[in-house]
Structure 1
């Protein structure tokens, strides 16, 4: 017997295996350089700083994503479109629903009993005629709350969000009764490996942005009390939580500037990390091989990461505080090509002003 309350499926076609994951990382880095982020970590060795590399799958901030229905009844399509557009008031993205041409997000209703979505830019790794999102049980007479629950959840995936119970901060927070969980999801056709991968396994610290564990998130599954040890349960979330809204506004801030050009040897550029978690991205071109000095200046504790050459997904090097005060400073011999700089605050929740510049070493 299948579960009465259905959930987001683990079966996403064409996105399994190390090769697919590597392709997804490459596509994400081309879409947005700050999908590859460096975060300084404390080290057990005095005087030595470690770092974690976060690999995200966010779309370019401010992007217009084309959404195309591959099939389905017009009345169902209309309800999905109306609810999906709610994300436009949360994230600095636009959803343009098209009936012809290519679609970045392609929606199908053909795979019955399964609803799923690719995560963020993984949609770009799927064949252009194949679905990147599926709604397997939405019908014209489906209750509105069910539409809201499922569509808000799947479009959360499409914009780069993961399941909340797989948030790194969820480790140890849910007292699962594992034998009962395996039996419960077996009713929906999941194998033990499916449950391990989609329920118990949390993402690593270096693979995703995350906040504290939020059981009220639209990205959280319902957790029946019968599947946990003691008394612990999470209901069916149908609304965006306040943490969902704050988190996605940090990932897609409405006041973020477009990619800013730097000129080697030119004037310094003033910038502002105005919201918690913000990352600023700059671009510059090196015309001849030489040692270059890249610095931030100002009162803000910055972390500077250099990407390139000609590949925004490649991290050349990074620095935390080798500059004046709390500023960053990178000295590196660079060959000709395009480079990108990303600047973030060392403290994720903090904000501040700074200037950034690039010059050749004398």
Structure 2
């Protein structure tokens, strides 16, 4: 993560999370696409954040809260399809933010709800001052994780070859005091060992750590000098955020009607959105068909705000995404579908019944 001179050794410490289990003997390219996309939110999601001020061990002063609000606003000002809304109750928030001293971290993307469903538990922490240049980058960095973006220095396309002994020794000391597992998880580990249609290495990414001289053996040029990213969001950060979360608010979404299938012919990472207006109140089934890896998420329109109702993710498995839920006549719902990868045919279908 980017730092200033006086804070060069303080780093984001991601929670240790076991990789999601996929089907045995899964195709390597398919696995890579799933890993690249799996933690991203579906676009047009309203994400709520809550400051855990009711707990003395997690409360922060007003200036720190405002720095986080400003960082959310900076991401939003990229004209993204995501919304960030501050709420007054933890139960309403996907992101629950504390200010316990010592370490800054966040769960990555959908892990915030998949792994931390208890609304009394935090999903993000800021352990140092956010009003400095370093602190502002810290806030942007952790929110980037919450949006689903991993550490950039762990991008396998970076081609970084570590002086592993030096890396482990450096992070075992002050002020991090990481054990070998933490250092491996946050530094040495590659996000994906396979070739994936992701971005090339961005050494200036907000998601990149700064590294002092002596830790990197390759690429050439960093053996004897530090790697210091430029401050703020890089051009590639902005490009990647807009790629996964495009604004396109004025697109007319097709309507899902009972027993009428929709052809799904999109590329990995792309998303389709549908509107559902039930003509009678009953339990409906929504399911994908074909050999595609998808995630589907159902929202209800509540006076212009999309409220999450249910979702299913079939990526890396041999079944199809399916939601069964009672829908009410007179209300409007949105079904959002993100594609991970396609089967041999490259197409699939979606049906409501």
The answer to whether TM tops 0.5 is yes
Residues in 2 aligned to 1:68 and 1:293: alpha-carbon distance in whole angstroms: 34
- The aligned counterpart of 1:54 is 34
The alignment of Structure 1 onto Structure 2 pairs a total of residues equal to: 293
Partner of 2:148: 160
Aligned-residue CA RMSD in angstroms?
A: 4.6
1:283/1:83 CA distance change after superposition, 3 Å: closer
Deviation at 1:267, TM superposition (A): 7.6
Alignment of 1:34-53 (within 5 A): none
Aligned match of 1:312: 312
CA 83–239 in structure 1, closer or farther in 2 if over 3 Å, else same: same
Q: Distance in 2 between matches of 1:306 and 1:60?
A: 11
What residue in structure 1 maps to residue 134 of structure 2? 146
SS in 2 for 1:57: coil
- The aligned counterpart of 1:87 is 75
Please state if 1:122 is matched with 2:111: yes
- Identify the structure with bigger relative contact order (alpha carbons < 8 Å, sequence gap 6+): 2
Q: Residues 148 and 207 from structure 1, CA distance in 2 versus in 1: closer, same or farther, beyond 3 angstroms?
A: farther
Q: CA deviation at 1:100?
A: 3.5
Q: Deviations over 1:185-210 (max 9, x none)?
A: 11120122222221111122689973
* Mapping for residues 15-30 of structure 1, pairs under 5 Å: 16=17, 18=18, 21-22=19-20
Report the alpha carbon displacement of residue 355 of structure 1 after superposing the two structures with TM: 11
Q: Are the counterparts in 1 of residues 33 and 341 from structure 2 also a CA contact under 8 Å?
A: no
C-alpha distance after superposition, 1:62-121 (max 9, x if no partner): 1222211111001221122112211112332121122345322111112x2211111112
Q: Which of the residues 64, 87, 99 maps onto 2:46?
A: 64
Residues 105 and 337 from structure 1, CA distance in 2 versus in 1: closer, same or farther, beyond 3 angstroms? Answer: closer
* Segment of structure 1 superposing worse, 3-12 or 148-157: 3-12
For residue 134 of structure 2, give the secondary structure of its aligned residue in structure 1: helix
Q: Please say if 1:135 is aligned against 2:126.
A: yes
User: Residue in 2 aligned with 1:32?
Assistant: none
Change (3 A) 1:282 1:169: farther
Name the residue aligned to 1:10.
Answer: 13
- Distance of aligned partners of 1:151 and 1:344 in 2 relative to their CA distance in 1, 3 Å threshold: closer
Please, which of 97, 108, 127 is the counterpart of residue 98 of structure 2? 108
Please tell me whether the aligned partners of residues 40 and 109 of structure 2 are also in contact (alpha carbons under 8 angstroms).
Answer: yes
1:336 CA drift (Å):
11
Q: How does 1:154-193 map to 2 (within 5 A)?
A: 154-170=142-158, 173-187=159-173, 188-193=176-181
Equivalent residues of 1:220, 1:237 under 8 A apart:
no
Change (3 A) 1:226 1:258: farther
What is the distance in 1 between the residues matched to 2:203 and 2:254? Answer: 38
The answer for unaligned runs of 5 or more in structure 1 is 27-35, 43-49, 296-302, 319-331, 347-353
Residues 127-185 of structure 1 deviation map (CA, whole Å, 9 limit, x = unaligned): 3112211111116xx42x12221011010001111000112323xx2232222111211
Shift of the alpha carbon at 1:9?
Answer: 3.3
Matched position secondary structure for 2:214: helix
Query: For the structure 1 residues 294 and 216, does the alpha-carbon distance in structure 2 shift closer, same or farther, using more than 3 Å as the test?
Result: same
Secondary structure of 2:162's counterpart equals: coil
Compared CA separation, residues 283 and 167, structure 1 to 2 (3 A): farther
User: Cα distance, 1:276 vs. partner?
Assistant: 9.0
User: How far apart, CA to CA, are the structure 2 residues paired with 1:336 and 1:86?
Assistant: 35
2:260 maps to 1:238: no
For residue 225 of structure 1, give the secondary structure of its aligned residue in structure 2: coil
CA pair 9-261 structure 1, distance change in 2 beyond 3 A: same
Gaps of 5+ in 2: 1-5, 53-58, 297-309, 326-334
Whole-Å separation in 2 of the counterparts to 1:357 and 1:64: 24
